[in-house]
């Protein structure tokens, strides 16, 4: 979620939540965004972005990590988790032929 506009991008993790899978999925999606929206990402302390250095090299996008136990540093993405879960449930009920082909 972009902080000032609240622009949200959901990325489907079709190949799992491993660090390489997350890096590849994020890199593929973030380069499609306007430059103003891809200057940096603030990430929680999750290990799924363990390949953040390679992500930065591949995309030029800087990754910042929140301090442990500092929810005030996180974006409002945690509030978007119910929305993401609802969208995922809706996609699971929708025939694949109706879904967008891009990820």
pLDDT of residue 103: 47
Place of tokens 């990430």: 43
Give the model confidence (pLDDT) of 21-54 as tens digits.
Answer: 999 999 999 989 888 888 888 777 678 889 999 9
- Residue closest to 15 by CA, chosen among 103, 98, 97: 103
Summarised one tens digit per residue, pLDDT across range 58-100 is 999 888 887 777 666 555 555 556 666 676 677 666 555 454 5
Q: Where does the pLDDT of residue 1 fall: very low under 50, low under 70, confident under 90, or very high at 90 and above? A: low
Q: Give the Cα separation of 89 and 87 in Å (integer).
A: 5
- The whole domain housing 20 covers 1-82
Tokens of 98: 């109706």
Q: Are 23 and 48 in contact (CB under 8 A)?
A: no
Q: Indicate the SS3 state at residue 43.
A: strand
In a domain, 27, yes or no: yes
Whether 88 maps to a domain, the answer reads no
Q: How many domains does the chain have?
A: 1
pLDDT of residue 55: 92
């Amino acid at each position: 979620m972009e902080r000032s506009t609240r622009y949200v991008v959901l990325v489907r993790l079709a190949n799992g939540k491993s660090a390489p899978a997350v890096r590849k999925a994020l890199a593929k999606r973030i380069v499609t965004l306007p430059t103003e929206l891809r200057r940096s990402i603030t990430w929680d302390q999750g290990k799924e972005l363990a390949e953040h250095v390679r992500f930065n090299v591949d995309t030029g996008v800087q990754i910042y990590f929140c301090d442990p136990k500092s929810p005030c540093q996180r974006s409002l993405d945690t509030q978007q988790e119910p929305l993401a879960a609802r969208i995922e449930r809706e996609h699971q009920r929708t025939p694949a032929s109706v879904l967008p082909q891009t990820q």
